[in-house]
Structure 1
């Protein structure tokens, strides 16, 4: 197969590309061709624009590009940058697919569990329609809508609602480790908010699984089947590092430091990957202790 990949130099892409290159031809979109080759190798083609690729000759599109959501404070300008980096590119890809006479059979497009907005303790899955309408939901809803424009009897669209991806290299875990290593880690607020996580190995294998199973389409939760509370996650991370996890970060303090973006940490959701489980995807890491233990050695 020939796979077109956007966001390939990100956390997930850097892990997934080596698996794809074993069996497939890969073309990636990047503004910096040199950087892409350094990070991903030279056995792939790099283009700088969607228009540089004839999607009639592409079998699968994987679209994971987007401005990091937690790098900068959420000013109105930054919110627009976050939206544009996801939605405008996705619209370009959907438009290009619709113009094809032989379009890609599969379009896997990024989204996030932020689609559900903040939720209480009852778990949510792909059939949940009781949504808290806030920035994360609006962003994911519009991002998904842009991808769904490409859906047809020739192209299935898969919306990857990704949770907190746990990896040795980058991502949320790398931001948490310093505080915990220096005995400053612990729950945020009351620690009851849900943390829906997924190990990077399952993240990559689930995408490969989706490619191979054409019966999967629409929203797909990319999370482990056992979400945990922030308090339980903190305790598990402390255990993996042989550190206490007793210091609590008060929510109001985080609000002052981070503004609206702090909602991502002080609220959460318990997300179940109902579709993946129904299609018999077997998760390699189903409990947080084994997941963190495999990453922290």
Structure 2
């Protein structure tokens, strides 16, 4: 058994085999990654949490080692997936949910829809759209994303270029300027057509999920639990950095959250500042 297989299992959730990892002991926290991410993107954070927390992380359908889904992603659907993963693990009490980037939508939806299951909410450089509107023809757009992924897979595009594209994205979104994930796992997960299809579908439905969450905010309050927004600050004194931090402060104000920064850190702050990420989770409940 390799270090990355210890603690791993496959759970059938809504008929789909999902790759899930449970590690550590103590109060439960869930770590959910951003668009196109895999479980190993949390590897630097998890050892800082497991002495104090039971850590659950899983690959959304099509990502990492999980099977693809026939359904397009939604905020409510991803919130329900988190609940069902926890139920399948026998973890039915309150937990802290932490979401990076796009997954901030999912964990906030979980907190709103399952307040009795939420001990804390942590948004890690979370996606934020101040006034989103869903785009027309969602089914057609999802079909287009699936078709494009299928054509690319037939031409071996993911196999030839998937890992390189992943490494490039990691370099562009870290201060350290490198992909700290294990190369063998990157090749294993990002050479697949299902990974490309899942990422395209998440990207295609991004504004739809943002609009769904905005509607949820109007009539479903957050529970009385700590909320933290941890923003990535790369330390640059330039307009782009100021705009990104201002958006995160706006998100914190909207949610009545504590605002923190991880410095220096790019968008993949779990690579640049795993200590800041772990501290935000540990302080959340």
Q: TM-score by structure 1 length?
A: 0.34
Q: Which one has a bigger Cα radius of gyration?
A: 1
The alignment's TM-score, normalised by the length of structure 2, stands at: 0.35
